[in-house]
Structure 1
Amino acid sequence: MGTKERKEREKDEHRELILNAASEIIAKEGLEKLSIRKIAAKIEYSPAIIYHYFHDKEEIINTIMKKSYEKILKVLSSPEVSEDSPKDKIKHLLSKYIYMALEMPEEYKTILLNSSPEVLEHTSVLFKGASMKRKALGILCQSLKDIYIDKDIDNSVIELTAQVIWTSTFGLILRLIVEKDLPKKQRKMVIDHHINLIVDGIILGKSLTSYCQS
């Protein structure tokens, strides 16, 4: 390995160390408690060294947001999901998203409940045109379009439907995080019913009576 490659690798390792420390602070204390000094103290660096790798705290936050969003996209773009029928694809998308969030409860809650402009730049999903800027929401919109391919439904309605599905699922995730001692069997039943009710009941228009009897 040449000198240039070794320096680049060392730079990446230092940046990753800083990001991991920042993520741990966010998970334990909240985003508002994050500071360059706390990061430096945690990894026994001087604040000046942190600034050597990142311009400021905002760049660290933005990098963490980007990495978290890429993690979501990776899960939602997995091969087994992309090969499903539109109906099953949405079910798998919602299932994977919910269980992924439950594996990182504090990080998810801290980031998704934050209302700072820097964080909302990555997490907001309710604005008009969000499906064009938020790839995960765009994947859900495309699946809805595939289901309604024979129906004349305006794209704005498709997007609003995706936004409501996304936010209702977000609400469920938060309750599951808060009620963390819920028995696994009950948790699975709630998640499965949420997904089936959204897809079979809301999207496909199946009545609750016929759904429960099937």
Structure 2
Amino acid sequence: MGIKERRDVEKEEMKKRIMDAAIEVIVQEGYEKLSIRKIAAQIEYSPTTIYLYYKDKAEIITDMSDVLYRKVMGEVVAVINEEAALPIDKQVHDILRGFIKGLCSEPEMVKAIMHSGINVVFANDSTDGKPANQGIDMLDHLVSIGISQKVFRPGIENNSWMIVSALLGFVLSSIGSRLYLFDNFHKHIDDFVEILMGGIKQ
């Protein structure tokens, strides 16, 4: 490993330590009490060192959101690649299920992001008032295919953000009530996804 590669690894490791410390403070004390000084004390570095990586606490939340988004999108893309030959409703079902499982695998990070009150989930450059990002666009595309195949009902084009909003609500409720810790949580996920699929199928 060269010097640049080693520095990149060290930078990512330090950013993870900062994010983990921020999550701990937010979950215990709330986002309002989060500060660069508290993060620095948590990981036993000076605040000046933290500022080398992040200009403020909002930037830390944005970075957390990016980490979470990449993880969930990785799972979604894996489903699409593995199930491309399956019926479109099966693909969408498993994508929605993967979305929930991906977020619930990082409950503390999800709580920290949501407690921050910063709109990072739907942050986008949309000009028509509808939330948009790569994941929503991907789901819109699959829904459009389902409509053309007469599997999904017409009139729901470009409304995948509503489905994602419902998924986020389920995730937040499951994390808040600690439902995700129960052995039968996978059954609750399947039931919820079936309800959503029932709303878009012909």
Match in the other structure for 1:210: none
Corresponding residue to 2:200 among 179, 200, 203: 203
Distance 1:123 1:38, change over 3 A: farther
The amino acid across from 2:161 in the alignment is: Q
CA deviation after TM superposition for structure 1 residue 55, in Å: 2.3
CA deviation after TM superposition for structure 1 residue 146, in Å: 0.7
Check conservation: 2:88, 2:142, Cα contact below 8 A. Answer: yes
The amino acid across from 2:176 in the alignment is: V
Distance (whole Å) between structure 1 residues aligned to residue 4 and residue 191 of structure 2: 54
Alignment size in residue pairs:
195
Instruction: Structure 2: state its 5+ residue gaps.
Output: none
Check conservation: 2:25, 2:34, Cα contact below 8 A. Answer: yes
Distance (whole Å) between structure 2 residues aligned to residue 188 and residue 71 of structure 1: 19
CA deviation after TM superposition for structure 1 residue 195, in Å: 1.4
Moved more, 164-173 or 65-74: 164-173
Corresponding residue to 1:94 among 93, 96, 108: 96
3-state secondary structure, aligned to 1:120: coil
Q: Sequence identity, in percent? A: 30
Match in the other structure for 2:46: 46
Check conservation: 2:64, 2:109, Cα contact below 8 A. Answer: no
Check conservation: 1:26, 1:107, Cα contact below 8 A. Answer: no
CA deviation after TM superposition for structure 1 residue 7, in Å: 4.2
Instruction: Structure 1: state its 5+ residue gaps.
Output: 206-214
RMSD: 3.0
- The structure that is helix-richer by fraction is 1
The amino acid across from 1:42 in the alignment is: Q
3-state secondary structure, aligned to 2:158: helix
> CA deviation digits over 1:19-45, x for unaligned, max 9?
332233334433333210111001111
Highest CA radius of gyration, 1 or 2? 1
Distance (whole Å) between structure 1 residues aligned to residue 111 and residue 5 of structure 2: 37
Distance (whole Å) between structure 1 residues aligned to residue 108 and residue 7 of structure 2: 34
Distance 1:92 1:165, change over 3 A: same
CA deviation after TM superposition for structure 1 residue 83, in Å: 5.0
